[in-house]
Structure 1
Amino acid sequence: MDIRTNTILGWILAALFVALGLGNLSHLYFKSEKLEKPGFPIEGAVEASEAGPAAPEVPIEVMMASADVTQGAEVFKKCASCHTVTQGGANGIGPNLWATVGAAIAAGKGGYAFSDALKAKGGNWDFATLNEWITNPRKFASGTKMSFAGLADPAARANVIAYLNAQGSNIPLPPVPAAAAANTLTTPEDPPLDGNAAAPADAAAPAEAE
């Protein structure tokens, strides 16, 4: 090799060494301590592990005490594509639901072909069982033919159950447990009563469900 070639190679090697050195220096300069948690905090957001246990769901007996049949009729429109609810109505994709509340599970209904999963449940369609079924049909009876995903809103479930009860069943609503009734009457805004203070004279006692 001639001197010119050696000079060019020398400059290339020198440039490589300089680039490598700058890279190491920049790494040291910009190095930061490891973050305890990745990402950026968002005001108002709470991690699932920090949120604590989910609030207990209101018992169906409490929800039924304030259920609204008219609103339940609106909720039932979600079901009308598969079910009829009139007396003597025909079965559709799902069975006719006249007089369902209190009736045996997977029985009668004009010979409707219920799934084996639902037949295996046994018992009757009481308020609590209907609530469980409407919440998540597949969880209630794995293998059911019912394609409806369920209703997450407890009030909507109570309303539609009240509507169904008004369609040929009309059985008495379940009584509200005393403990649940007391909890519904206690709110954070209520002033605490000390040991010497008496409850207001016009304080209403929990009414019995009809």
Structure 2
Amino acid sequence: MQDRNNTIAGWVLFAGIIALGSTLVVGEVFGHEEVDSCEEGADGYCPSYVADAAAATGGEAEAEQPIAFFLASADATRGENVFKKCAACHTVTAGGANKVGPNLYDLMGNPIAGKAGFAYSDALKGHGGNWDWDNMSAWLASPRSFAPGNKMTFAGLGDPQDRADVMLYLNSQGSGIAVPPPPAEVSPEEAAAEAAAAEGELQPAADSDTADQLTEENVEGTGSEGSDVDE
């Protein structure tokens, strides 16, 4: 009896293993492809890793405001604290030595890769332009994206308010370039008016097509039998 029970248990276990293996194989063969968003999945399929990421971020990321928006509420004291992340590689005082990175005193408004005595990468030297607010914000957000191939290993500051704060602090260290005014807020009425104006730019073409069509109809209806004009 004991042997019979062991045999039955063995077959049950074997059947379970077969079923599990079949499920894994079918999942590999017929499973959905990986997608980056739920909109890309077929038949309403949304992988759990995509759903979890969307829930964590609140769905699609909103477009970031211009850096001037954050500069309006920026604070140099906060920026000095943020700069502590940079202090291992940079000095920011007048006459400060170059370290792993160049001295950053009087940096804002001056040419990119323009500090004398520092060996900049070719990627940064070839970028061109000055360290204005937009360029500096883009650099601080992602040095790798701003000048691919440069020597900067810092990943960047994802928070635009942190970038605005640290830029205001850098600007106070020997630079003093003008801070741009905050962008004008667009009311819903103004946004609607702009949308209507953009739609109106397409209207003349449509009206022109209609006019051409009417003209052709008038030409076809001209004559003793087709004329609507009283003689």
Q: Which residue of 2 aligns with 1:101?
A: 108
Greater percentage in helix: 2
* Residue 138 of structure 2 corresponds to residue 132 of structure 1: yes
What are the residue-to-residue correspondences of 1:25-40 with 2, within 5 Å? none
Equivalence for 1:82:
89
**Closer, same or farther: CA 111–56 of 1 in aligned 2, 3 Å:** same
Instruction: Name the TM-score, length of structure 2 as normaliser.
Output: 0.58
* Structure 2 letter corresponding to 1:62: F
The structure 1 segments of at least 4 consecutive aligned residues displaced by more than 6 Å after TM superposition are: none
State which of 74, 77, 84 in structure 2 corresponds to 1:70.
Answer: 77
Deviations 1:151-182 (A, max 9, x none): 1111111100000000000111012222xx34
The SS at the match of 1:157 is: helix
Aligned pairs (5 A) from 1:1-210: 47=54, 53-107=60-114, 109-178=115-184, 181-182=185-186
Structure 1 residues 39 and 64: CA distance shift in structure 2, 3 A: closer
SS at match of 2:145: helix
The higher relative CO (CA closer than 8 Å, separation ≥ 6) is in 1
Per the TM alignment, residue 111 of structure 1 is displaced from its structure 2 partner at its CA by 1.4
Unaligned runs of 5+ in 1: 1-11, 28-35, 187-210
1:76 maps to a residue whose letter is F
The Cα RMSD (Å) is 3.6
CA distance in 2, matches of 1:46, 1:168: 43
Distance 1:46 1:152 in 2: 17
Give the conservation status (yes or no) of the 8 Å contact 2:54–2:60. no
User: What is the percent sequence identity of the aligned residues?
Assistant: 51
**TM-score of the superposition, structure 1-length normalised?**
0.63
Give secondary structure in 1 for the equivalent of 2:91.
coil
Structure 2 partner of 1:202: none
The count of residues paired between Structure 1 and Structure 2 equals 155
